[in-house]
Structure 1
Amino acid sequence: MLIHPIHDPLMLAAPPVIGALPLAEALRRDWGLGGVLHPLGGERDRNFRLEREGAPPLLVKLGHPDEDPAITDFQTRALLHLEAAAPDLPLPHMVRARNGATERAHPAEDGRTCLLRVLTYLPGRPVAPPVPAEALGELTARLDAALAGFAHPADARRLLWDIREAPSLREFLPDVADAGLRRLAEAALDRFEGGPSAALTALPMQVIHNDLNPHNVLADADGQLAGIIDFGDMVRASLLQEVATACAYLVQPGGAPLAGPAAFVAGYRRVLPLPDEQAALLPALIATRMAMTVLITHWRARRQPENAAYILRNMPGARAGLEALARGADARAFEG
């Protein structure tokens, strides 16, 4: 049984309101940290960059009060696992409090409790075109290889941003006012349910990042990859789903819409195998992920107009990609 979208209480939850002075005091008391807090964006967490004199900045995260603590622990344990298994990967690391803990309870302004965590802050900016797709594919495969041995009781959670849940989004179609865009999204869902859905769920599974969109991949001033962030959508799923999700943000309008995804797959295959029979499903899976972006963002933006700009940040690329794929895309681009 698929998730019913309305039953995910955090899909429409705004980030908690956090008082700066109590937060600064908690950081001094429990972590021995001082500095200036700068607010950052976030869908459900409240995030800050802590600027410190003479030391690198840090990321301060406060989870939503309604978030299951097991999900926060899932993310924390994954990062600790990755730090031990692949310390050379450019990922955020947990900063332990004075007592060795990775989190503490902290009150929001409405009196509810959030989980406060501190992580290293990766330098760089969200990757921008032209994305080094082949290098990103290789980095993603290295991340997946390091996650292969990791397990957590919460890793089988149900998550709306999971390609396998796409059929549950049909009821969001009326939220897309543009009839042409609505038809593109509906056609992608039809194609997914026509075969790739069953194939995807039959594949071996492991924990994956599941959200390698351009805002979660950092690049340095020269455009070289500098890190991967935001592990909030991790789930146990197939590696093909990891690839398809990342590739959905690499499709470019024009004569070769799959050129970026093909380069990504080439890089990925330098580290991990991706059989041709699985890769042949990628055009349909990529379109499905794009349709999900269109449907979920429209549904949420209509109900959270104050956060619409952030929610809709990936929508233009999804629309352009759906239009490009609808004109035809040859799966032979992924043949090894």
Structure 2
Amino acid sequence: MPLNAPAHDPLLEAAQAQVSLEQAAAIAAERFAERGELLRLAGERDLNFQITRTDGSACLLKLSHPLEDVQVVDFQTGALLRVQQADPTLPVQRVYPDQEGNYQGWVEVDGQRMLARLLSFVEGLPLHRIKQRSPALRRNLGDALARLDLALHGYSHPASGHELLWDMQQAARLRPLLQHIENADERALVERSLDAFETHALPLQKELRAQVIHNDLNPHNVIVDAEHPEVLRNILDFGDMVYAPLINELGVAAAYQLGTEGDVLAPALEFIAAYHSRNPLQEVEQAILADLMATRLVMTLSITAWRASLHPENRDYILRNAHQARASLQGLAALSRSEARERIARACQEESHA
């Protein structure tokens, strides 16, 4: 798709499917022999139902959106199986077969045809509920993401290059969405940051090493231990996976490790250094990482403003990351590009010599 084509994603524009708890329970019982108390969880596209069994353990029934491409779902399922085989101890969501041995299968509810999958569910706290994140937590998370990317290295699938609005390679297409950002100063900041991406990072995208990446390590997709929050329990939601430059993975994830006041870059440097220790970054990747972090924040602010205007009934969930994204982007913009680049390079160099 041309870079100047307008942003478009039917899945994000469409309303969610409608499935009751009773209907979801019937699917869980008939296809997966799972029974228990169901609770619907929030989600952007898919429907997610936590199933708590009588022994207190739990699992997750995921029903893909009726408009979702079956090949894209198969791409995601294959990645989960790949990671489970390549790094069995990595705390990543698991996928389980149904009673016929299939990891995904069609179900129909009131004329809505969807793919059903059964996934693991791990108790703990979502990272966004941890207000004070320790250096140990940031380092553990950076190391886990590096392990995830190493596990995914070499994984291929026909749908890996599917069109995805959240794919940073396509960020230049977001300009038509900026009109939905109501605050003029914020909109101007987003425009300047997008200009910087197009000038410094976009020309290099096709030259960088690339692979399948998770592409969405935001605080809602990370579960930590409730008593010891530095301990990572689970990485969730492979729904935004795509084949892309590897450094885009870190650009996405590190954007969520930025602070919201003072020296906003400092917390992210600990995360970046830990990733680099396990999966070393190339110099050209380090040089554009700050641009990519800013671009992820731009994508968050523009896409969520647009989607909130389309789905006001789901506004709170859609805008859950907007406040932090705004504050982090303002703080990052206060640094010169050269300063941010030099600090990232120094953090990686110090980690290499540690």
Settle same-fold status: TM greater than 0.5.
Answer: yes
Residue matched to 1:114: 114
Residue matched to 1:325: 332
Alpha carbons of structure 1 residues 206 and 188: separation in structure 2 relative to 1, 3 Å: same
Post-superposition offset of 1:55 = 4.9
1:271 equivalenced with 2:278 (yes/no)? yes
Aligned with 1:281: secondary structure? helix
Contact kept, 8 Å, 1:188 with 1:288, in 2: the verdict is yes
State how far apart, in whole Å, the 2-side matches of 1:251 and 1:92 are: 25
Q: Structure 1 stretch 325-334 or stretch 2-11: which is displaced more?
A: 2-11
Structure 1 residue identity aligned to 2:148? L
1:250 aligned to which of 244, 257, 261: 257
1:53-92 to 2 correspondence within 5 Å? 53-92=54-93
Aligned with 1:161: secondary structure? coil
| Post-superposition CA distance 1:145-188 (Å, at most 9, x none) | 00002111100112110111111111111111100110110000
Q: Which segments of 5 or more consecutive residues in structure 2 lack a partner in the other structure?
A: 350-354
1:125-144 to 2 correspondence within 5 Å? 125-127=125-127, 128-131=130-133, 132-144=137-149
1:334 equivalenced with 2:335 (yes/no)? no
State how far apart, in whole Å, the 2-side matches of 1:163 and 1:104 are: 30
State how far apart, in whole Å, the 2-side matches of 1:175 and 1:192 are: 20
Structure 1 residue identity aligned to 2:57? P
1:227 equivalenced with 2:229 (yes/no)? no
Aligned with 1:22: secondary structure? helix
| Post-superposition CA distance 1:199-252 (Å, at most 9, x none) | 123101100000001001111112122110000000011111001100111111
Residue matched to 1:153: 158
Contact kept, 8 Å, 2:59 with 2:118, in 1: the verdict is yes
**Matched-pair identity in %:** 41
Structure having the larger proportion of residues in helix? 2
2:175 aligned to which of 170, 177, 180: 170
Aligned with 1:7: secondary structure? coil
State how far apart, in whole Å, the 2-side matches of 1:4 and 1:223 are: 43
Matched length? 335
Aligned with 2:119: secondary structure? strand
Aligned with 1:122: secondary structure? coil
Contact kept, 8 Å, 1:58 with 1:118, in 2: the verdict is yes
> Normalized against structure 2, the TM-score is what?
0.91
Q: Which segments of 5 or more consecutive residues in structure 1 lack a partner in the other structure?
A: none
| Post-superposition CA distance 1:2-57 (Å, at most 9, x none) | 38455321121222111333332232222211111110001111110001011520
2:194 aligned to which of 160, 182, 189: 189
Aligned with 1:253: secondary structure? coil
Contact kept, 8 Å, 1:176 with 1:298, in 2: the verdict is yes
Aligned with 2:11: secondary structure? coil
Contact kept, 8 Å, 1:245 with 1:289, in 2: the verdict is yes
Residue matched to 1:15: 16
Post-superposition offset of 1:333 = 1.5
RMSD: 1.4
